[in-house]
Structure 1
Amino acid sequence: MNIQLTEKKEQIFRSTLQLVNAGGFHGSPMSKIAKEAEVAVGSIYHYFPSKDDLIIELYWYCKEIINKHIFLEEQDNLPYDQRFRAVWKNVVLFYQDHADLFSFMEQFYGSPFYEDIRKNVFQHKCERNKIFHFLEQGLEEKHLKDLHVRILLAAYLGPAISLVRSSLYEKTKIEESQLDQLVDIIWNGVKK
């Protein structure tokens, strides 16, 4: 039973992701999502009480996929500065290769859906936000300047997002040397 539930939810997530990327949140009614996912509308409401719940759960589903690809076990034992660089590069390369997830996350972060999650992340230190905790670890271990974690997040992810965005819009691949140069600039700006 759980396997079917997971498969059906994933079908719904994939269809929602595709529709939101094509038509935005408002252009993706539950009826259209159900049709695209090839499930009954009632099935969607069985798993998600509302469209808002579906969108928020899709966000967390995407975050888990992203975290799985950017926090690699083989990099866990690297010194913090090397891991800082590796995780950052993983973010850029993952988003460059997964434009659908990047597009959804861009829309989500610019929407009212993100407001409650943002409050949760900063007020309750949500355990699902691995980058947040990775940067907190850097602060606690005195690898990073004593800055508010929100500032560190902006310094860490802002350039990555900007680089990915320009690469996707220009339809160009980011060169390894560009990745190294930019992550060095970031590290030199935030290291203690």
Structure 2
Amino acid sequence: MNIQLTDKKVQIFHSTLKLINIHGFHGSPMSKIAKDADVAVGSIYHYFPSKEDLIIELYWYCKEILNKEVFSTVDNTLPYEAQFKMIWKNLIQYYTKNTDHFSFLEQFYGSPFYEGIRTNVFKQKTERNVLVSFLQEGIKDKQLKDLNVRLLISAYLGVAISLVRGCLYEKTKPQEDELNTMVDIIWNGVKL
């Protein structure tokens, strides 16, 4: 479902994101979200039939922003390996600059909300699953091992997420040499 964004929806998304990161899913009732967004509770229900719908649409909103930021600077004329490495580094940069999105996505993936849509996530449109499409293209073009794309996602994102978590915990930023080393390790593990 691709929702049409209005200023009010964006306001609701930002308030929801902020409150969930502070209080969790259950500690962020619609009334608290409405108050923080400075809108009536009815306005939220006008756009989102339920809190579950709001949270799922917030997930897709965050993913669309992430995809735009991560993939918009990638030069498609570069060799696949260079694109692979650039996208991974862009992911790290995005997550370290947007810790609110990172924290929300971390909570979301471990929640019943994600369980409810998990089977449909890999079937979503290409624009929503840009990374999945990119990795599938690498398999098709014989750049990557012919593995289940979920395994490739785990190798690719798992390392990125672990690195970002460590940096957030230590209150540090990843160094360029660390990024290069890690992405080389991933590439060497999945390249054909």
TM-score by length of 1: 0.95
- Letter paired with 1:151: L
User: How many Å apart are 1:23 and its aligned residue?
Assistant: 0.3
Rounded Cα–Cα distance in structure 1 between residues aligned with 2:93 and 2:80: 20
SS of the residue corresponding to residue 182 of structure 1 reads: helix
Segments of 5+ residues of structure 2 without an aligned counterpart are none
Contact persistence 2:59–2:105 (CA under 8 A): yes
Match of 1:104 in 2: 104
Match of 1:69 in 2: 69
Contact persistence 2:132–2:149 (CA under 8 A): yes
User: How many Å apart are 1:77 and its aligned residue?
Assistant: 1.9
- Whose helix proportion is higher, 1 or 2? 1
Change (3 A) 1:145 1:5: closer
User: How many Å apart are 1:73 and its aligned residue?
Assistant: 4.3
Per-residue CA distance 1:81-132 (angstroms, 9 max, x = gap): 000000000001110111101000000001011123320123x254211111
- Letter paired with 2:100: D
Per-residue CA distance 1:123-148 (angstroms, 9 max, x = gap): x2542111111101101111000111
- Letter paired with 1:92: I
SS of the residue corresponding to residue 45 of structure 2 reads: helix
Match of 1:78 in 2: 78
Rounded Cα–Cα distance in structure 2 between residues aligned with 1:118 and 1:129: 13
Match of 1:118 in 2: 118
Rounded Cα–Cα distance in structure 2 between residues aligned with 1:104 and 1:110: 10
Match of 2:30 in 1: 30
SS of the residue corresponding to residue 100 of structure 1 reads: helix
Rounded Cα–Cα distance in structure 2 between residues aligned with 1:104 and 1:183: 24
SS of the residue corresponding to residue 6 of structure 2 reads: helix
Contact persistence 1:75–1:86 (CA under 8 A): no
Rounded Cα–Cα distance in structure 1 between residues aligned with 2:76 and 2:14: 30
1:129 paired with 2:129, answer yes
Change (3 A) 1:141 1:165: same
Instruction: Please report the RMSD computed on the Cα atoms of aligned residues, expressed in angstroms.
Output: 1.3
Contact persistence 2:74–2:87 (CA under 8 A): no
Q: Which range is displaced more, 76-85 or 29-38?
A: 76-85
Match of 2:87 in 1: 87
- Letter paired with 2:10: E
Contact persistence 2:21–2:103 (CA under 8 A): yes
TM-score by length of 2: 0.95
SS of the residue corresponding to residue 172 of structure 1 reads: coil
Match of 1:138 in 2: 138
Q: Which range is displaced more, 129-138 or 112-121?
A: 112-121
User: How many Å apart are 1:5 and its aligned residue?
Assistant: 6.0
SS of the residue corresponding to residue 75 of structure 1 reads: coil
Q: How many residues align?
A: 188
